[in-house]
Structure 1
Amino acid sequence: MPHTDLPLEELRRYEPQLPAPADLSEFWDATLAEVAEWPLDVSCTPVDSGLVTVETSDVSFAGAGGSEVRGWLHLPARALRGDGPLPAVVQYQGYNGGRGLAHEHVFWASAGFAQLVVDTRGQGSGWSVGDTGDPVGAAAAQPGFLTRGVLAPEEYYYRRVYTDAVRAVEVLRQHPEVDGDRVAVAGISQGGGIALAVSALAGGVRAVLADVPFLCDFPRAVRVASGDPYAELVRYLKAHRDRVDRVFATLSYFDAAVLGRRSSAPALFSVALMDEICPPSTVFAAYNSYGGPKDITVYPFNDHEGGEAHQQREQLAWLRDLLGVHGGAGVRC
């Protein structure tokens, strides 16, 4: 697969002048004040995942509009924990993936962190199963999620998604076995874009892990991405030729490259230079404008799978160093 985006030296300088809405702060302040009127209403029920090194609970909490959001909370087994509260990671999911099965996403818990794996409302029937519905209706939309309610920021689907994601950070920070000052947010693709947005919107985020993030630099993404999900917007605008300005005005409230300017937490990004789903220029748009300390790992010959296990290794070393967490000792053969 050839490189189809800008050369790397140009990507490192690429910082488009994406307009931020004049009322961006007021919009998100009002959104989060609205959801704060609902109690978190956390439910946490232990389940048997079949694993002996991780303890898992089925979690639910009240998200946007007070509707239920589901997740898995994984903790290292008690026999493997050290003294004191645990550092923690909130994990957001890629497009049309859900929290999965109880044993499915346990990397961070296996490394000694508390790990909250959060559903994305309405999704979870693609590559991984989910259990959270989206009870809010919307006007006519292209199949998928990107155009649901896209004619007004107050009605847009990702307003609810980002709100749920902020509430998930609150859930984990309040857990009695978690160090609320050492909570990171993480995700791949859509999950990476959500993590960037949450780092700007939620209080107390200590670190951000954003792999090949989606939801960044919408104006360029819809013009250079070769397929879905961004093509959902292309098809919608192809049908609704008179709504272009209105759609991009809504998207500007949710662009992770715009919101990320407001972030201050250290961030580790990754980008794949042959990525046709989240073009590398859109990732660099978010990285180059990000407001906090940052680093990026570049995978020159990878598509949207990015760094996978190689990137996990980078992330674990980086996050342990940042949070002052000791690594596991090797075992003599």
Structure 2
Amino acid sequence: MPDSASTVDELQRYAPDVAEPDDFDQFWRDTLAEAAARPALVDVRPEPTDLLLLDSWDVTFAGFGGDPVRAWYTRPAGVRESLPTVVEYAGYGRGRGLPHERLTWPVAGYAHLLMDNRGQSGLYGAGDTPDPHGAPGGASPATWGILDPRDYHYRRLITDAVRAVEAVRALPGVDRDRVSVVGNSQGGGLALAVAGLVDNLAAVLTTAPFLCDMRRAVQVSEPAPYGEIGRYLAVHRDAEEAVWRTLSYVDGVNFARRATAPAHFGIGRRDTVCPPDTGFAAYNHYGAANGRPVPPEREIHVYPFNGHEGGEAVHVRRQLRWLDSVLHPAHASAA
């Protein structure tokens, strides 16, 4: 088991046997089939901004249980052609904010959908999507409904993330065959979950992913969100078995094993929020269950002296160049 003294070589070999429920695939098939019974796209309306080079729309789509989930759709102004599209998932405690807050992808020439996190706004950023489903559990999103996988907050949030891809593929100006997912921390965990549940993604970009190797992460990480689960168990001592069972249904390692799209990972070696070995667990298992003789294309960048912030702008530049090389191989070969 890796510890703080583990070398990158040791981390690159870390492939833990993460618990996977026998009905994992059926659980998610049933969950997503229920959601798919409703059209994904509910409402799209132009959103006035002061950004002359970009156009934005306020999007509502039907997430888990048909609940309305909000998102911003943004693209280069005046461009009529269908564009490769990036669906972005926000971090823990963040909402979608305002449409001008996240502009990297549309400025780079992509259509961009930023999904709101149900029930999580107010800690780091504003949002306007409630989570109306209550169930026994703790006070924080990481522990809402944690005693049963069917009640767990992340069953709902992962379903929303899948539905965001379905919604964006129904929007005008989207190249349906070139939809990628991206996220950092919780958003990175959601991107991995979508990679394991959605076919025909163009690429997956995940940085410091949450929701990976969950049992170990809860045992070694003190800050939120993992620390919130640990503190819940410190009070509800008889709930441990139920909690581990619930977490096994949302563990990013199990989703990563099923993924088929090219993947780009980023890890901060000194990350205490999402420990680096848990991200490596997902990376080392990535694509292992897809039936191919070799795993999908994937690469990882490690920042030895960085924590949860990872490589920041340096890493974003690497993401931009990597995604362009995946979507436009001729660009890479000519470089």
The TM-score by the shorter chain falls in which range? over 0.9
Q: Residue 52 of structure 1 corresponds to which residue in structure 2?
A: 52
Q: Residue 119 of structure 1 corresponds to which residue in structure 2?
A: 116
Q: Residue 305 of structure 2 corresponds to which residue in structure 1?
A: 301
Equivalents in 2 of 1:182, 1:41: separation in Å? 19
Equivalents in 1 of 2:57, 2:142: separation in Å? 31
Equivalents in 2 of 1:5, 1:28: separation in Å? 37
Equivalents in 1 of 2:128, 2:330: separation in Å? 34
Q: Residue 127 of structure 2 corresponds to which residue in structure 1?
A: 130
What is the DSSP-based 3-state SS (H/G/I as helix, E as strand, rest coil) of the residue aligned with 1:132?
coil
Q: Does 1:255 align with 2:251?
A: yes
* 1:23-102 equivalences in 2 (<5 Å): 23-78=23-78, 81=79, 84-102=81-99
* 1:228-247 equivalences in 2 (<5 Å): 228-247=224-243
What is the DSSP-based 3-state SS (H/G/I as helix, E as strand, rest coil) of the residue aligned with 2:59?
strand
Q: Would you say how many aligned residue pairs link Structure 1 and Structure 2?
A: 321
Higher mean C-alpha deviation, range 203-212 or range 264-273: 203-212
Q: Residue 157 of structure 1 corresponds to which residue in structure 2?
A: 153
Normalising by the residue count of structure 2, what TM-score does the alignment of the two structures yield?
Answer: 0.93
Distance 1:155 1:65, change over 3 A: same
Aligned-pair CA distance for 1:325: 8.2
In structure 1, give the amino acid aligned to 2:197: L
The answer to whether the Cα contact below 8 Å between 2:192 and 2:204 also exists between their aligned partners in 1 is yes
What is the DSSP-based 3-state SS (H/G/I as helix, E as strand, rest coil) of the residue aligned with 2:309?
coil
Equivalents in 2 of 1:48, 1:325: separation in Å? 36
Aligned-pair CA distance for 1:270: 0.2
Q: Does 1:270 align with 2:274?
A: no
Q: Residue 11 of structure 2 corresponds to which residue in structure 1?
A: 11
In structure 2, give the amino acid aligned to 1:34: E
Q: What does the per-residue CA deviation read over 1:131-167, in whole Å, with 9 as the maximum and x for residues that have no partner?
A: 11001111141x3111111111111110000000000
Aligned-pair CA distance for 1:99: 0.7
Q: Residue 316 of structure 1 corresponds to which residue in structure 2?
A: 320
Aligned-pair CA distance for 1:5: 5.3
Equivalents in 1 of 2:224, 2:239: separation in Å? 20
Unaligned runs of 5+ in 2: 288-295
Q: Which runs of 4+ in 1 moved over 6 A?
A: none
Equivalents in 2 of 1:118, 1:325: separation in Å? 28
The answer to whether the Cα contact below 8 Å between 2:94 and 2:127 also exists between their aligned partners in 1 is yes
Normalising by the residue count of structure 1, what TM-score does the alignment of the two structures yield?
Answer: 0.93
What is the DSSP-based 3-state SS (H/G/I as helix, E as strand, rest coil) of the residue aligned with 1:117?
strand
Equivalents in 2 of 1:32, 1:44: separation in Å? 23
Equivalents in 1 of 2:74, 2:329: separation in Å? 18
Equivalents in 1 of 2:57, 2:38: separation in Å? 23
The answer to whether the Cα contact below 8 Å between 1:138 and 1:155 also exists between their aligned partners in 2 is yes
Q: What does the per-residue CA deviation read over 1:298-327, in whole Å, with 9 as the maximum and x for residues that have no partner?
A: 100101011111111001111111111898
The answer to whether the Cα contact below 8 Å between 1:186 and 1:192 also exists between their aligned partners in 2 is yes
Aligned-pair CA distance for 1:240: 1.5
